[in-house]
Structure 1
Amino acid sequence: MSQSGRVLVIYPDMYITKIGVFEGNHHLYQQTIIHDEDELNRFDQLIDQVAYRKQAIFEQLDLDGMNTSRLISVCGRGGLLCPIGGGTYQVNDAMLYDLKTNAYGEHVSNLGAILAYDIAENLNIHAYIVDPPVVDEMQKIAKYTGIPEIERASIFHSLNHRHAGRIAAKQIGAAYNSLKLISIHIARGITIASHQSGKIIDVTNGVDGEGPFTIDRSGSIPLKGFLAYISEQYSNVEDFDWNHLQQDGGLKAYLHTEDPSIIHSRLMQGDRHTKNVIEAQAYQIAKEVGAMSTVLHGEVDGIVFTGKISENDFVIDAIIPRINWIADVMVFPGKNDLEAMNEGVLEVLNNPGEVKIYVAEEAN
């Protein structure tokens, strides 16, 4: 590093906050703070959880003997912002405003930059985010929908996709910028992406309902059937709750559980319905991988799985036979969010000119 010190990384999720401390590339410390679900539910909005989570972070660091005075920067999980290019961004007022007002949607990821800034400000150091989910490097042709007034948007697990691409490049023994890759992130959400020349040029937007169904998301559904469903279930379309598709669909709707251990147990017992549903999910994921291979004109140097691999091994096992004819398949277990965030911060600490500044959309 060009300067000695430590980086604190913060990754808020639905009912947990992951934190880590790095010195250079050395991962000194990691802890997952599990929040009481009832305690979080007492807050009317996600933004109201900031003070509660911030206190929990300081208490955990203090309990584990981590000295915050040695920190030189703080990095938070990126949230829903206006479309921006990939890279490391310094948290500024424009970013905080868009996150605090949910200008581009409410999501737990919005808390990351706010927490990082609050902690960094007290220590008189900078706060950053790295490759937020709104990274938009999609080629123009990928944004057409068939309705001129509607464009496809790029919202996906960009942090993990990019990091997995770079790990794959090291395994292949080539520069990331020289490769054409397909990456599949499997966790609570599932997104698939195409990489070319160091850019992620097409993605499935899981937040807006694209792609395969997941643990609790419906994924892409037939428009005519969806409209008929809405008209049958609701007298007023405005009464429809989007969360029904985002939190009560997918495996949860078919199997009435979202617990991977229960699903795995049913598969081991030979439950035909469970097997059919898992095969259908694998089919949908494989079909999206095939579509992404056409984006790269069939010239694919590797296919990469990342995310919560151990919890979804039964799905991955069903996907691989459908896609391994396209290219070699690499599986990198674990969500490497903290490592990817730290690497992004190190890049700008060593090369200050690489730091990017967020500009609100209306100012662009």
Structure 2
Amino acid sequence: MKVLVINPGSTSTKVAIYENERCIFLETYEHSPEELAKCETLMDQEPLRRNCILSALEKAGFKIEDFDAIAARGGILPPLESGTYVVDERMVNYLKHESPVKHVSNLACVIAYELANGKVPVYTTDPVSVDEMVPEARFSGIPEIERKSLSHALNIKIVCRKVATELSKALEELNAVVAHLGGGISIAAVEKGKIIDVNNANDEGPFSPERTGELPVGDVVRMCFSGKYTKDELKKKFVGRGGLVAYLGTNDLRKALEMAKKDRNALLVVKAMAYQIAKEIGGMCAVLKGKVDAIILTGGMAHSNEFVEMIKEHVYKFAPIFVLPGEFEMEALALGTLRVMKGEEKAKIWGGPNG
């Protein structure tokens, strides 16, 4: 079985071809800021991204008709169950016109559906808006504000599958705390395979390379009414120019660690980020009542042994630690689609925004 996998990122478009569980082709197209600036809206990037995918297929010697299915990264949909979903016209229209967050992931299903043109089925697995949170986790302290489940669900789920296999367990038997450490950070409590609590990677949890994470709310209110910033400037300050960028002028952990060798303040900033990550991991261990089979560190920052050790020294007594650096999104999308095609899992049908 051949599966085409499509995954647009903020400055790149990834294309992969899987033959059963084996990746036989992988290409990443980088997009310059100047190239993206020509697109007035997010959906205006569609032709640019689609042409990259067609170029990749030409390079690999494939046509759309050669595939048994297309697997596309999931966009910002309303809260839904974990699993693999059929991408249909209703979902595409929502992502194009109604999604509340204009996120680059919204492009994937739209492009895949149009490329398929009814010739091959299109699926998406574990979108960002997977919501399995327990009722207690939704309370914020203000009735008007409910905590939301927006996380790196796709990567969280696949690393849980990998570790469950290593522990000779089924996913549904695994209790784990997963820390996805990238430009944004998601730290999830996974109980019996379900993400029962997780920080919103945009505005909760530890600070990250370019996001502030949680902030003292009183000071945020004062900033909002100081007259110094517009709403958009503040949003950018919190997401995009926060975290390591705000303290050290870089969103690259490798550069921050190099700075830390010569600058005690830079070292303190990096240690503070590891400290906050460890504190959040500890909190999620409490959510699981201490019944934790594994702590899993994944995402780009997990490539740094030095940074991983900073986290480990705080949490090593809680549970065995597994380090799976990088992200496995392409594999997760392909395997989710293959499970459906092989009859191991039933594809879900999205019921619409109120379904």
Pair 1:184 & 2:176 matched: no
Q: Provide the C-alpha distance between the structure 2 equivalents of 1:153 and 1:201, rounded to a whole number of angstroms.
A: 12
What residue number does 1:79 align with? Answer: 75
Q: TM-score, normalised by structure 1?
A: 0.93
- 8 Å Cα contact 2:248/2:266 also seen in 1: yes
Q: Provide the C-alpha distance between the structure 2 equivalents of 1:293 and 1:352, rounded to a whole number of angstroms.
A: 31
- Aligned-pair distance for 1:63? 2.4
Secondary structure, in 3 states, of the residue corresponding to 1:361?
coil
Q: Provide the C-alpha distance between the structure 1 equivalents of 2:300 and 2:41, rounded to a whole number of angstroms.
A: 27
Secondary structure, in 3 states, of the residue corresponding to 1:315?
helix
Residues 51/276 of structure 1: CA separation in 2 closer, same or farther (3 Å cut) = same
Q: Provide the C-alpha distance between the structure 1 equivalents of 2:165 and 2:295, rounded to a whole number of angstroms.
A: 14
Q: Which consecutive unaligned segments of at least 5 residues does structure 2 have? A: none
What residue number does 2:296 align with? Answer: 304
What residue number does 2:256 align with? Answer: 263
Q: Provide the C-alpha distance between the structure 2 equivalents of 1:271 and 1:257, rounded to a whole number of angstroms.
A: 14
Residue by residue over 1:17-71, the C-alpha shift from the partner in whole angstroms, topping out at 9 and shown as x without a partner, is 1111011111111111112321111111111101111011101221233344311
What residue number does 1:246 align with? Answer: 239
Q: Which consecutive unaligned segments of at least 5 residues does structure 1 have? A: none
Output the aligned Cα RMSD. 1.7
Q: Provide the C-alpha distance between the structure 2 equivalents of 1:349 and 1:311, rounded to a whole number of angstroms.
A: 33
Secondary structure, in 3 states, of the residue corresponding to 1:108?
coil
Secondary structure, in 3 states, of the residue corresponding to 2:325?
coil
Residue 61 of structure 1 aligns to which amino acid in structure 2?
Answer: L
What residue number does 1:63 align with? Answer: 59
Q: Percent identity?
A: 35
- 8 Å Cα contact 1:95/1:358 also seen in 2: yes
What residue number does 2:206 align with? Answer: 212
What residue number does 2:96 align with? Answer: 100
Pair 1:39 & 2:28 matched: no
Residues 310/316 of structure 1: CA separation in 2 closer, same or farther (3 Å cut) = closer
- Aligned-pair distance for 1:288? 0.4
What residue number does 1:168 align with? Answer: 163
- Aligned-pair distance for 1:263? 1.6
Secondary structure, in 3 states, of the residue corresponding to 1:242?
helix
Secondary structure, in 3 states, of the residue corresponding to 2:183?
coil
Residue 296 of structure 2 aligns to which amino acid in structure 1?
Answer: V
Residues 239/40 of structure 1: CA separation in 2 closer, same or farther (3 Å cut) = closer
Residues 87/287 of structure 1: CA separation in 2 closer, same or farther (3 Å cut) = same
1:266-277 → structure 2 map (5 Å cutoff)? 266-267=259-260, 269-277=261-269
Residue 247 of structure 2 aligns to which amino acid in structure 1?
Answer: Y
What residue number does 2:110 align with? Answer: 114
Secondary structure, in 3 states, of the residue corresponding to 2:99?
coil
Secondary structure, in 3 states, of the residue corresponding to 2:297?
strand
Secondary structure, in 3 states, of the residue corresponding to 2:68?
strand
Secondary structure, in 3 states, of the residue corresponding to 1:265?
helix
Secondary structure, in 3 states, of the residue corresponding to 2:338?
helix
- 8 Å Cα contact 2:7/2:15 also seen in 1: yes
- 8 Å Cα contact 2:3/2:334 also seen in 1: yes
What residue number does 1:232 align with? Answer: 226
What residue number does 1:139 align with? Answer: 134
- 8 Å Cα contact 1:74/1:119 also seen in 2: no
Q: Which moved more, 1:282-291 or 1:36-45?
A: 36-45
Q: TM-score, normalised by structure 2?
A: 0.96
Secondary structure, in 3 states, of the residue corresponding to 1:191?
strand
